Amino acid sequence: MGKVNITIDGCKMEVEDNLTVLEAAKQAGIEIPTLCYLKNINQIGACRICLVEVEGARGLQASCSYPVSEGMVVHTNTPTVREARKATLELILSNHKKNCLSCSRNTDCELQALAQKMNVGDVIYEGTHEDEKIDDLSTSIVRDNSKCILCRRCVAVCKNVQSVGAIEVINRGFKSKVAPAYDRPLKDSNCVNCGQCVAVCPVGALTIKYDIDRIWEALADNDKYVVVQTAPAVRAALGEEFGLPIGTAVTGKMAAALKRLGFNKVFDTDTGADFTIMEEGTEFITRLTENKNLPLITSCSPGWVKFAEHNFPELLDNLSTAKSPMSMFGALIKTYFAEKEGIDPSKIFSVAVMPCTAKKFECERPEMDASGYRDVDAVITTVELAKMIKEAGINFEMLPEEQFDDPAGEATGAGVIFGTSGGVMEAAIRTVVEVLEGKEIPQVEYEEVRGIDGVKEAELTVAGKNVKIAVVSGLKNARNLMEKVRNKEVDYQFIEVMACPGGCIMGGGQPRKVLKERKGIDVRGLRKGALYSEDKRLPLRKSHKNPYVQKVYKEFLGEPNKGKAHELFHTHYTER
């Protein structure tokens, strides 16, 4: 990498020669507006909002894709540049549905923010305003193409980051739009419901499918006993919706808020994660001992499971049959908890708060009803919970720290770290190592599986056996690794896969991160740090040490992965 000398708005500077004008301007403290740009994902200059003047070049240039060169002179704030950007924005707005007040992205819309920043008021152009039918047939995501600005961010993320390719720009000219092949509904495509498209959409063209009204209805029904469980990643991001710093764990305030919303019981999905480790860990030990169906591949991430069903059906026998913590805990609520509390399970309405839009799909999978009842009746995301808290007029910052309800018992730190890439693997290792060694192991933290890399590999020696493991997040990374597994190019015994880059902390149902990351904030690192900090301060950090888990196996389930435990906690997958 070399250096070049350039001048931006009169500021002479030396920069790396692999930068774009947009990146160089940022180093000079100059903020060029963007709309379609996503660093390293979508740098195609499609929206034309980031235009600048480059001396010697013909016409205005899109700074997000224009490379710097020696002696370059750039102007970012001339009358010509400002007028061109404003005209471009007005043209985009002319064809955009303007129901801002009732849009779910109101105050969190990048188009709206740009209009304010660039002082665009009345739009003089008349767009086509073609009526587009809203596609709300997916369990997780709603598409409204009347709000789409064709920035192609969603297409780039779906194709380049997740390698799913469920959506693309179809048709030509004024009839161009983003849609699945043959303009089918999203539910009829190979979409895995991960919601990464929702996370990057700058407007309200792709949004979470809300289940808020169903929850309010259940809470108002005196004939229902409404319980809620919250995933570990939710506590690491919920506070952002109320102005708290990124990386603030709000576990106690979240529990307090849920109680004030009217839930009969407020539980922690981390307890379900401890059960998952017992089941998945036992399954791994069995497979390792028998040298059968290895590598064992985790199945907690429903986006990954559906991706595997579409793309790697020959590896489905390698996936762990253990359900996710959400579904395991849901099954336990409708059985053990109902029996202990003397509640008719048909009266229980079980809600899960998840960071993941794909959990809505998992909730409705037909296999998730081994108890005779749906494991979970409804899933809402972190964003939806924040909306409910605001709608109820609860001052989140003023809430005291409260505990989750009994009899769910105390979850361990192993359950907490399920929310980040590497967490499931580390939680499993903590238990599997002790079981195989047959003794207490002082080591709790395994740095080998931590970090931000999309693929992490390690080799451990356990009870005299060499165990090769891998941790992967993001479905493109998963595809590349699974192709190596399929072709027998690698030899692992245990693989953790999470659909979302960075794991559940970056799920499609979490507060949006694009604008924060654009400011140089390490959202992933801060949220991950919140979970590891909570793990570190908990007295119990290994799932098999959880006394509540031990009690339930003794009183109700029997042995892990056998009998009632297998019936309630394990499932199967379907080639698609």
- Structural domain spans, the chain: 3-91, 95-122+132-208, 213-569
Rg of the chain (C-alpha set): 25
Q: What are phi and psi of 179, to 5 degrees?
A: -165, 165
Catalytic residue among 23, 47, 504, 543: 504
> For this structure, is 362 an active site residue?
yes
* 366 backbone φψ class: left, alpha, beta (φ>0; ψ -120 to 50): alpha
Q: Which of 140, 299, 320, 473 is catalytic?
A: 320
According to DSSP, residue 222 is labeled T
Instruction: Give me the pLDDT at residue 409, please.
Output: 62
Which run of H or E residues covers position 472?
A: strand 465-473
Q: Is 504 a catalytic residue?
A: yes
Residue with more model confidence, 569 or 520: 569
- 231-269 pLDDT, tens digit per residue, is 999 999 999 999 999 999 999 999 999 999 999 999 999
- 426 is known as an active-site residue: no
Q: What is the mean pLDDT of residues 312-327?
A: 96
Residue 149 makes CB contacts below 8 A (sequence gap 6+) with 35, 47, 92, 96, 111, 202, 203, 205
Q: Is 366 within 8 Å of 353 (Cβ atoms)? A: no
Say if residues 57 and 102 touch (Cβ distance below 8 Å): no
The yes-or-no answer on residue 300 being catalytic is: yes
Of the listed 47, 158, 300, 500, which one is catalytic? Answer: 300
Average pLDDT over residues 329-340: 96
549 and 427 Cβ atoms separated by less than 8 Å:
no
Sequence-separated (6 or more) residues with CB below 8 Å from residue 530: 235, 236, 247, 248, 249
Query: Which residue among the candidates 359, 513, 528, 542 is catalytic per the annotation?
Result: 359
Options 110, 241, 283, 534, the catalytic residue = 283
Q: What is 213-569's CATH number?
A: 3.40.50.1780
The mean-pLDDT minimum among 145-159, 164-178, 309-323, 402-416 falls in: 402-416
Q: Which CATH architecture has domain 95-122+132-208?
A: 2-Layer Sandwich (3.30)
- Give the model confidence (pLDDT) of 49-77 as tens digits: 999 999 999 999 999 999 999 999 999 99
Place of tokens 């994660």: 273
Question: Looking at the predicted structure, is the pLDDT value of residue 410 above 90?
Answer: no
Q: Name the catalytic one among 110, 280, 426, 496.
A: 280
505-528 residue pLDDT tens: 999 999 998 878 877 889 999 999
Catalytic annotation present for 391: no
**Nearest CA to 111 among 205, 242, 174?**
205
Which of 90, 110, 241, 362 does the annotation list as catalytic? 362
Distance CA 380, CA 387 (A): 10
Phi and psi, residue 465, nearest 5°: -105, 140
Contact by Cβ (8 Å): 431, 281? yes
The 3 state secondary structure assigned to 379-410 is: EEEHHHHHHHHHHCCCCHHHCCCCCCCCCCCC
The pTM of this model reads 0.94
Pick one of 3.10.20.740, 3.30.1230.10, 3.40.50.150, 3.40.50.970 as the CATH number of 3-91: 3.10.20.740
Ramachandran assignment for 555, one of left (phi > 0), alpha (psi -120 to 50 degrees), beta (any other): alpha
Higher pLDDT, 308 or 43: 308
| CA distances, 2 to each of 7, 15, 74 (Å) | 17, 8, 20
- The verdict on whether 367 is a catalytic residue reads yes
Between the alpha carbon of residue 123 and those of residues 98, 148, 261, 289, the distances in Å are 11, 17, 42, 69
